[in-house]
Structure 1
Amino acid sequence: MKKTLLVSLLSLAFSSSQATEICGPQTDSFAFVIDASGSMMQTFEDAKGKANIEDDSPINDLKIAEAAKTFVEKVGEVIGEDKMVSSLYAVAPFAELISLSEKTGLNYKDLVDEKFNADMEVFGRPTWVGERANQYFHQAVSGKNTVIFITDGQFTKELNDPVKALQAYREANPNMRLYIVSAAYSEEGKKQIEVLNGQTFIPVTQLETLVTDEKAFKDFVSVAIYNKCDERIELKGINFAFDKYNLDQKSLNILARALKVVQARPATDKMVVEGWTDWTGSDAYNLRLSQRRAQAVKNYLVEHGIAADRITTSGEGKSFKYNNHTPEGRYANRRAEIIFVKENTK
């Protein structure tokens, strides 16, 4: 059943490693896997109509698969002339559309446009794992890799057991990190995808949101694949010993990388440093702790030559940006963000 495939995908997120980069690539390689089954070839309006959902979204006339293709191409634009190891696959049936190799973001975008067909038949095309997919899921990818799976749910089991195939992929790639982008509107599809919600690095993200909300798109890409650091830098793992104010060595290493980014910015740029915590503990305690994290970042920057009057701090308390149900998600929620504000010269 389709649910069994989702359960197996769920397990892949457990063994992912923590991102260590401040700017640029956030992973050694990335792969998009797009569900190209018949239901993905219908329009958003058709999918919503079957689920008795009525709205006036600007993308209702767009096919879901076309939106997925647009989203993936836009990721290539963000990477631009920089090079990353990347690939693209489709399921229903499985096909390697872009082989795993180093290429520029713009080259990847062009290949996605050329290789992915978003205009196939709607009927008689369920999602299943064939022999080619089974072989792929037994292959190892070097380094830390990110997989972004775009689907509306509704898998079926045929030929090869998708659970075993994906378990093999997890075993071959212990540093894999999984992101789920949902195009599900039916209750059945939502339930299937919701199985993943407790185990993915970040909560399941809606495809419609990513293609209609520019901020949501930037936030997703900066975490999963590539962070341009044009507006903010995110410092995951700014930690203290329990109920202490001093930064540990890992935090100091993170701040040293962030300092280089800040030093490269114009001296007229001001900053807001936000501190965040995971959901462990009371709201009051975490509000205080988040303020201490923000202040610690400011203190570090000032001690290393950044003017104090350029920096304000804000303790934001508990974060739910990442998944608090997983150790990796809680780690990422314990963070600070430096938001750059350009001085108004008018």
Structure 2
Amino acid sequence: MLKKMLFAIASLTSVSSLPMAQAADQIQDDRWYIAPFASFIKTGGDRKASDGWGGGMGLGKIIDQHFNVELRGFYQDFGGTNGPWSLTGGTADVQYYFFRDKFSPYTVVGIGGMNSCASANCGAGLIGEAGVGFTYELHDNFLLRSDVRYRYNNNLNAHVQPGTDEFHDMTVNVGFVIPFGDKPKRLAKVESFTAPVPVAACSTLDSDADGVNDCLDQCPGTLKDATVDADGCIVRLVLKGVNFKYDSAELTPTALGILEGVAENLVAYPQKNDIEVQGHASSEGSDDYNMRLSERRSASVVDYLKRKGVTNKLIAKGYGETRPIADNHTESGRSANRRIELIWLDD
């Protein structure tokens, strides 16, 4: 029996090592979450006990398109021939999602510890779990979740149950997942664009010099150096010259002048899309310090643009030194990496 269960764990673990494929046009969801749940426990025959109920709570983090990690604690109880049982324990889990959608199936493996009591006879031991489950998204911040798990428990000679210290149970868990913060939105695709061959009905005039003829341009008045899509609408803009005072989120006078022009353009030629204002840093200083500084600087730009009348929803996001665009070993590269970017998000 144990060999079959260990083989099942190994099979599920091998599935979780499949190559990851992530859509290039997505911002990865990397939120923390809590996950309360209720449990039904189907006890194995070696416990000489009836089935029972319990519950618990998980704290987890979405790592990427396929993986979550989670710490879980639980309590379960049920009756038995040698008195009532109670199980208190916790596991560290790794969940592998085959894909992320409204309905998202996954496999899970976990290891941990558990204190088992049969009447007044208690002992601590090890547990390993493996199973399958799914989530169903009702809202960006609320998902239903259920899984079925095999649990192996070894009480390490504690003799809680006379005759054996190894137990094999099944648990069915039903609960929900509550992620913290806003769910990241899909980025607008930056498409490679070849200007169409001019025809008699279409002028070759390109007033805003964005590479899209005026008669095809659905978003006139494009800011200089912006990246646009095939319709001439902005999807990305690096704000060159928007700098801050040393070790501060306070904008320099030069930066204020540049941002004033950007704000005037956004007000005069509005696009309804939300805009993510990204703060980026060079590699100087610690990772945590650079992350906090980039967050404060992006928030400073958002505050200024709002004061100037920009009506788009502006989302401040700091990325620290995680997304360099130049070599951090040179001063020119570090200067390029210290930047503010505006990213237009899909509706």
State the TM-score, normalized to the length of structure 2: 0.33
Larger radius of gyration: 2
Q: Higher relative CO (CA 8 A, sep ≥ 6), structure 1 or 2?
A: 1
Structure (1/2) with the larger strand percentage: 2
State the TM-score, normalized to the length of structure 1: 0.33
